Amino acid sequence: MASLDPKALFNIHTNTNVSMTSTVTSQVIDIREARTVAAQLIWISGSTPVGSFSFQCSNDGTNFTEIGAAPVSGNTGTSAINFELPGFFFARVQYIPSSGIATGDIWMSAKS
């Protein structure tokens, strides 16, 4: 029987201090053992960045499909996405800018 007490599989700082003036893509993370997966974008300085924070999945680690997105706006802030019981093998996140500039970090975590 599965434990009711989730254990952390990982908490990874996938991108550090990146420019958000162009598309930013995290590293690909293997989440086959995960019961929950979460991603967070933190932008710490900028001039009114506007864009979308996209959570993407894949079963082959190469071809990714967006399964969720969260908006990004304001000079500083955070945006987060959480998924329970993912059925796919790999995940990554992407920031897609529309306008403005900023510097940000991306974190990904998972629990089993």
For residues 76-98, average pLDDT: 90
The CATH number of the domain holding residue 57 is 2.60.120.380
Number of domain units in the chain: 1
Closest CA to 28 of 78, 62, 52, 70: 62
Please indicate, yes or no, if residue 95 is contained in any of the structural domains.
yes
pLDDT digits (tens, 9 = 90+) for 46-78: 778 888 989 999 999 999 999 999 888 888 888
Please indicate, yes or no, if residue 43 is contained in any of the structural domains.
yes
Which range has the top average pLDDT, 25-29, 51-55, 57-61, 98-102? 57-61
Please indicate, yes or no, if residue 98 is contained in any of the structural domains.
yes
More confident residue, 11 or 80: 80
Burial (CB < 10 A; 0-12, 13-18, 19+), residue 95, is buried
Range of the domain at 55: 8-111
Please indicate, yes or no, if residue 3 is contained in any of the structural domains.
no
Please indicate, yes or no, if residue 28 is contained in any of the structural domains.
yes
Please indicate, yes or no, if residue 38 is contained in any of the structural domains.
yes
CB 65 within 8 A of CB 13: no
* pTM of the model as a whole: 0.83
